[in-house]
Structure 1
Amino acid sequence: MSSLTAYDTIEQYLSAQWTTTPLVFENFDTELPDDPAHFVFVEIYGDSFDQESIGAEPRTGNLFREWGQLYLNVMTRNGIGTRLARQYATALVALFQGLDIGTLTFRAASIGAGEPGKNDGNYYRMTATIDWRRDQ
């Protein structure tokens, strides 16, 4: 899981910028409606923390970097095709492309990276993945 700093930065920015559908963040209790409504399920992961420089005194003066991914699982009603899911995923990626927010830099992005869309009950899922890094 990502650091609290990365999570808070992404959650606050995304919540302020995305109003097209509801956002559901990981581990929140959410009731799905009987009539499926589009939403985005957000997962924020940090893969590693690594020291990027050496020699500073004190040691904490060195650059440390956290790497991670933002998974934006676009959930649309099953059986309506993929165009709307692609539209939402593309718009979500555009919110982060080339963006620096505080200590976070957003880098490469993909729609469906290594995983095609998938039917999941009453929903179809298409995932936009955005790589990020945080320097401290």
Structure 2
Amino acid sequence: MSSVIAFDTISQRLIASWTATPLVFENDPYDLPNAPAAFVYVEIWAIPGGFDQASIGAGARDDNLWREYGTLDMHVMVPKGTGSRDAREKAGQLIDLFRGFEIGDLTFLEASIGEGQPGRSFANHWAMTASISWRRDQ
């Protein structure tokens, strides 16, 4: 999982900017409605070895540049059997909230829709994943 700084920065941006569907973050409670409806399940994680030293020779260890790398996965959940267009559209809108932006200490980089995680079925929902990589310098 990511640092709390990265989690807070990303989750605050999503909460402030996304109104199209409910947002559900990792391990948050969410009661699925009786009739399947769209929502976004959010995972914010750091890649293995997520903190790297990016400079040397600055004196004390903490005076050097440290870089955290991660990925934001936003799983757009739509009712099963309703096609993929709505999920793709929402995934693109979610990526547009981050791609190319610097927010606080985070820089958002490459983005994809469905790359490595094609649409998948979960009970009464179908998921299309929007992913965007990020880095944080400290």
1:28 aligns with 2:14: no
1:132 aligns with 2:107: no
1:19 aligns with 2:22: no
User: How far, CA to CA, are the matches of 1:122 and 1:29 in structure 2?
Assistant: 18
1:12-41 deviation per Cα after TM superposition (whole angstroms, max 9, x unaligned) = 011000001000001011110110110000
Tell me the SS of whatever aligns to 1:40.
Answer: strand
Q: How does 1:1-136 map to 2 (within 5 A)?
A: 1-47=1-47, 48-136=50-138
Tell me the SS of whatever aligns to 1:96.
Answer: coil
Tell me the SS of whatever aligns to 2:97.
Answer: helix
Tell me the SS of whatever aligns to 2:90.
Answer: helix
Unaligned runs of 5+ in 2: none
Give the count of matched residue pairs: 136
When the two structures are superposed, what TM-score results if normalisation uses the length of structure 2? 0.97
Tell me the SS of whatever aligns to 2:36.
Answer: coil
Identical pairs, percent: 56
When the two structures are superposed, what TM-score results if normalisation uses the length of structure 1? 0.98
Tell me the SS of whatever aligns to 2:117.
Answer: coil
In the TM superposition, what is the alpha-carbon distance from 1:77 to its structure 2 partner? 0.7
In the TM superposition, what is the alpha-carbon distance from 1:91 to its structure 2 partner? 0.5
In the TM superposition, what is the alpha-carbon distance from 1:114 to its structure 2 partner? 1.1
Tell me the SS of whatever aligns to 2:109.
Answer: strand
Q: Which runs of 4+ in 1 moved over 2 A?
A: none
In the TM superposition, what is the alpha-carbon distance from 1:59 to its structure 2 partner? 2.0
Unaligned runs of 5+ in 1: none
Amino acid at match of 1:59: R
